[in-house]
């Protein structure tokens, strides 16, 4: 089985996502470990959405551990998950993603691992994709690594031939920059507004790090642009991998 992106994406990088001539409207899955990971690559996704590609977002975990006790009255895991999912719905509404393209899978919350794996496979199998965005496997965050491993296993099991875009974030330990979405201050301001919909993360970062979630993500983008030699001040950067069964 082939993917219409094989010829386009097999070329050496780094290359600008803005310059790619997509062969047709694509089916794109975004596999977010936590609520807010969609937003961390929000400008790349806005670009694809604006070109008419169909985006589907799965948030794999509730992210309760990222909410401080008592924030907006949330003191138990259920309340914290509900709060973070509400933040994600609000950010997706601001983005312009239709509500029916967002699903919270709530994996790894105590169910047998085989059941979680089956649910992930079923969700992906029902949405055949050309392109899948997910975190890089070389990451210090355990949930990011687990997402990478689980999505790759699910793709292999269902015979997916999608290309994966593995994104750089604050905890990525190293990667190859194959694709770059470069941007300036005006787009950075829009992205900061998108990120601030995650108020629990914005306030926690302000209190514990002295800078907001928005500033932290944009600092990663600024450093990425510097490292790949982009003339614009910011960049979202991705490594490409082919998903699906291993080559014989």
How much is the pLDDT for 142? 95
The model carries a pTM of 0.94
How much is the pLDDT for 3? 65
**CA 221 – CA 169 distance, rounded (Å):** 8
Residue whose token pair is 């330990």: 173
How much is the pLDDT for 70? 93
* Beta-strand relationship, 163-167 and 234-242: antiparallel
Chain centroid to CA 3: how far?
21
pLDDT in tens, 153-169: 999 999 998 999 999 99
pLDDT in tens, 67-98: 999 999 999 999 999 999 999 999 999 999 99
Concatenating the DSSP letter of every residue in 103-115 gives EE---SSSS-HHH
Chain centroid to CA 104: how far?
14
CB count, 10 Å around CB of 233? Answer: 15
At the topology level, CATH places domain 25-242 in Rossmann fold (3.40.50)
How much is the pLDDT for 2? 56
CB count, 10 Å around CB of 237? Answer: 32
First to last CA, the chain: 13
């Amino acid at each position: 089985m082939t993917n219409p992106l094989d010829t386009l994406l097999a070329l050496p990088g780094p290359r600008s996502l803005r310059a790619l001539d997509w062969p047709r409207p694509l089916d794109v899955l975004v596999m977010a470990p936590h609520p807010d990971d969609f937003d961390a690559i929000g400008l790349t996704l806005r670009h694809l959405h604006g070109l008419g590609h169909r985006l589907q977002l799965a948030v794999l975990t509730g992210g309760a551990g990222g909410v401080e006790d008592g924030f907006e009255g949330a003191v138990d895991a259920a309340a914290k998950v509900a709060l973070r999912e509400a933040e994600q719905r609000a950010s997706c509404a601001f983005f312009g993603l239709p509500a029916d393209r967002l699903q919270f899978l709530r994996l790894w919350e105590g169910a047998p691992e085989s059941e979680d794996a089956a649910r992930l496979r079923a969700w992906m199998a029902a949405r055949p994709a050309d392109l899948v965005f997910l975190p890089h496997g070389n990451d210090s965050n355990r949930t990011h690594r687990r997402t990478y491993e689980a999505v790759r296993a699910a793709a292999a099991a269902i015979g997916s031939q999608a290309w994966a875009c593995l994104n750089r974030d604050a905890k990525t330990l190293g990667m190859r920059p194959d694709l770059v979405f470069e941007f300036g201050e005006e787009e950075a301001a829009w992205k900061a507004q998108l990120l601030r919909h995650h108020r629990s993360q914005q306030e926690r970062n302000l209190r514990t790090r002295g800078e907001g979630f928005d500033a932290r993500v944009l600092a990663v983008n600024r450093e990425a642009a510097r490292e790949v030699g982009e003339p614009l001040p910011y960049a979202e950067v991705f490594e490409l991998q082919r998903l699906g069964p291993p080559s014989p």
